Structure 1
Amino acid sequence: MFSVVIPLYNKEDFILSTVESVLGQNFTDFELLIVDDGSVDGSLLALKDIDDCRVRILPQSNQGVGAARNKGMAEAKYDWIAFLDADDLWSIHHLNELNEITKISSSLGMIATGSLKTKNLNLPTAEQYEPGKIRLVDYFVEASKKPELIHTSCVAINKKVFHDIGGFSDKGSGEDLEYWVKVALSYPVAVSDKVTSYYLLGTGGIMDTQHKARQKIPQVISSINDMSPAISLLVKESLKNPDILKEKRIKKYINSVLFSIVKVAVYNDNIFLAKGYSKLALPQLNSTYIFFPIFRVTPNLILNKIKNRYSKAKEVRETLID
């Protein structure tokens, strides 16, 4: 059985659709905890006609999304806690798929289905349910290839994880990725490739906020500790266990985050800053690490041409999503 946690803050235009996507699940053994984080719009009014004994609304003063998720986790009755943002949607098979993943091992700490970015509210509905390809993964290796391997609205956490390592921080940006790292350091992770979670673009929600935040990189990153909350956590853990930063999978993950930061700096027209960041890469024999020394000696004119080509290709992709 699942406890579903939705942190809610000023999402009157989306929350009803989000809740209905939960109540419409084929897997019906769940409770739904909506943590109202001090909404001041009509979010709660939009839910006034919901009449389902599985739904509980938990009010709190505005404390941020991390605190809202933590309240829901603390109140959860069941062993698995599935998260859903207040402006995202699930297919009718989402909890079914999560349940299938839980069957592969009793020691799992974190599980996730496939997810998709979309601007389309009309989700596909399939009458027949077929499980996806389910597998155990090394989070750090997989996330270095696919940074959004695990997104909040496709993930579930075993409640024992919350009891053992606590909840989300209150950083306001990057606290989700930080938490996935924290969990993956201590527990096995399993995923399915079946897409059952959809996060909507252009809603002004958590994903849009995080995307904008990731575009606003700091002007000075003096050490890998400054890159992100997730990397900062790894650095702190290395103080207890110095071997952590020597592990190939951890170095690969850190370099992939640095690669994203360098890329953002380039497309923000700050190549000088990007080349400075690239010097922080951890030595490793793979294509990502090899990129950094090559990048540092590539003339800025060539880098600008590459950036312009990428920008045009990105516009085409975004048009196709629309």
Structure 2
Amino acid sequence: MAANPVVSIVMPCYDAAAHLPASVSSVLAQTFTDWELVAVDDGSRDGTLAWLKAQRDPRLRVLSQPNRGVSAARNAGLAAARGRYVAFLDADDTWARDFLEAMIAAMRARPDAVLAYCGWQNVGRADKASAPFLPPDYEDSDKAENLFAGCRWPIHAALVRREAVTAANGFDPALRNAEDYALWLHVGLSGPIVRVPRVLAFYHFHGEGQASDNPVRAALHHLDAQRAYLQNHPALAAQLGRARVRALTAGELLRRGYACYWRRDLPAARTIFRTVMRLGYGTLSDWKYMLPAWLPEAWHRRLIETRERNARTSDEQS
């Protein structure tokens, strides 16, 4: 029997036939070659499974299951993984050729580290979010607060020790969004993490029902993940204090509601605002924006139009 690979790459696949060739090619092109790719077909309806089975590289292992969602697919891949380290690559994203080489070198240089993370770039967007991004070094005195506040790197911009993922019980199948945040929070606070200051991971936008397309679910699942972590780790709540916990949970929800509001995604903003109000959070100024979310949506839109019209009139008169 062949020795276990150094790295297991887990790739969940659902109706990904159009994108798989590019993603798998970025794995095949890695300068570090001691890996296995565990591809999990999650009940695809297109040619995903057939394409995977047609590949001839012996390092590619194919699993198939009925559609259960991305978290269940990743967990199935984790259960089959044999590597000392694990990396996650979705079937429509890619890596630089030396991603594995650089990440493994960082982990080997810090033997007590549980995770390494790197910079990334969003591809296929025309706004400022398409610029390459290098995250800061989070291994400092503010680490717990920073990791709790939000997901600090995307799923494919990290390399993690397999036993650390196992200890965190993998991905929560109840989360359709923020499942990566929930895992990184558990793993990142279980031991040292190390930064690789290079852009090595690429997230591809293609407008085909990606998880990032549902801002309400993303916001609410992020809150769910935060609440679950605090319930299981009361020491963090005590460390941060009630006011700071409120700012990082309800406050983050309010920030996401405003983001939807200002881009005029009113249905999403209204849903998020109503949740924030149920939590009793926000200043008087915030509530002036949020309260109309209880009105019928058509009335809410007319109120916004009236406010904007009055603001333009005031500007013209001044």
Do they fold alike, i.e. is TM over 0.5?
A: yes
- In structure 1, the residue corresponding to 2:17 is in which secondary structure? coil
Instruction: Tell me the amino acid that sits aligned with residue 198 of structure 2.
Output: K
In the alignment, the residues of structure 2 paired with residue 51 and residue 276 of structure 1 have an alpha-carbon distance, to the nearest angstrom, of 50
In the alignment, the residues of structure 1 paired with residue 237 and residue 67 of structure 2 have an alpha-carbon distance, to the nearest angstrom, of 38
Residue-pair matches, total: 277
Candidates 163, 166, 170, aligned match of 1:163: 166
The 8 Å contact of residues 178 and 222 in structure 2, kept in 1 or not, is answered as no
Query: Is 1:261–2:256 an aligned residue pair?
Result: yes
Runs of 4+ in 1 over 6 A off after TM superposition: 297-302
Instruction: Tell me the amino acid that sits aligned with residue 265 of structure 2.
Output: N
In structure 1, the partner of 2:276 is 277
Instruction: Tell me the amino acid that sits aligned with residue 185 of structure 1.
Output: L
In the alignment, the residues of structure 2 paired with residue 240 and residue 17 of structure 1 have an alpha-carbon distance, to the nearest angstrom, of 44
Change (3 A) 1:278 1:192: farther
In structure 2, the partner of 1:243 is 238
Alpha-carbon distance, 1:144 to partner: 7.2
Change (3 A) 1:50 1:247: farther
In the alignment, the residues of structure 2 paired with residue 251 and residue 188 of structure 1 have an alpha-carbon distance, to the nearest angstrom, of 26
In structure 1, the partner of 2:177 is 173
State TM-score, norm by structure 1.
0.71
Instruction: Tell me the amino acid that sits aligned with residue 185 of structure 2.
Output: V
Instruction: Tell me the amino acid that sits aligned with residue 58 of structure 1.
Output: L
Instruction: Tell me the amino acid that sits aligned with residue 61 of structure 1.
Output: P
* Structure 1 portions without partners, runs of 5+: 121-131, 283-290, 309-322
- In structure 2, the residue corresponding to 1:103 is in which secondary structure? helix
In the alignment, the residues of structure 1 paired with residue 50 and residue 135 of structure 2 have an alpha-carbon distance, to the nearest angstrom, of 40
Query: Is 1:195–2:196 an aligned residue pair?
Result: no
Alpha-carbon distance, 1:186 to partner: 2.1
In structure 2, the partner of 1:127 is none
In the alignment, the residues of structure 1 paired with residue 66 and residue 115 of structure 2 have an alpha-carbon distance, to the nearest angstrom, of 29
Candidates 4, 20, 26, aligned match of 2:25: 20
Change (3 A) 1:277 1:136: closer
Query: Is 1:4–2:4 an aligned residue pair?
Result: no
Change (3 A) 1:78 1:231: same
State TM-score, norm by structure 2.
0.72
The 8 Å contact of residues 238 and 245 in structure 1, kept in 2 or not, is answered as no
Alpha-carbon distance, 1:182 to partner: 2.1
Aligned-residue Cα RMSD (Å) equals 3.7
In the alignment, the residues of structure 2 paired with residue 96 and residue 247 of structure 1 have an alpha-carbon distance, to the nearest angstrom, of 42
Query: Is 1:233–2:237 an aligned residue pair?
Result: no
Structure number, greater radius of gyration:
2
In the alignment, the residues of structure 2 paired with residue 111 and residue 247 of structure 1 have an alpha-carbon distance, to the nearest angstrom, of 31
The percent of aligned pairs where both chains have the same amino acid is 24
The 8 Å contact of residues 30 and 100 in structure 2, kept in 1 or not, is answered as yes
The 8 Å contact of residues 144 and 257 in structure 1, kept in 2 or not, is answered as no
In structure 2, the partner of 1:185 is 189
Change (3 A) 1:134 1:56: farther
- In structure 1, the residue corresponding to 2:228 is in which secondary structure? helix
- In structure 1, the residue corresponding to 2:156 is in which secondary structure? helix
The 8 Å contact of residues 87 and 158 in structure 2, kept in 1 or not, is answered as yes
Deviation string, structure 1 residues 205-245 (Cα, Å, up to 9, x no partner): 5xx2x223224689xx9xxxx86232122331255775255
In the alignment, the residues of structure 2 paired with residue 21 and residue 119 of structure 1 have an alpha-carbon distance, to the nearest angstrom, of 17
In the alignment, the residues of structure 2 paired with residue 272 and residue 133 of structure 1 have an alpha-carbon distance, to the nearest angstrom, of 31
In the alignment, the residues of structure 2 paired with residue 31 and residue 279 of structure 1 have an alpha-carbon distance, to the nearest angstrom, of 47
Deviation string, structure 1 residues 136-178 (Cα, Å, up to 9, x no partner): 5355544578x55211111222111133221101122222222
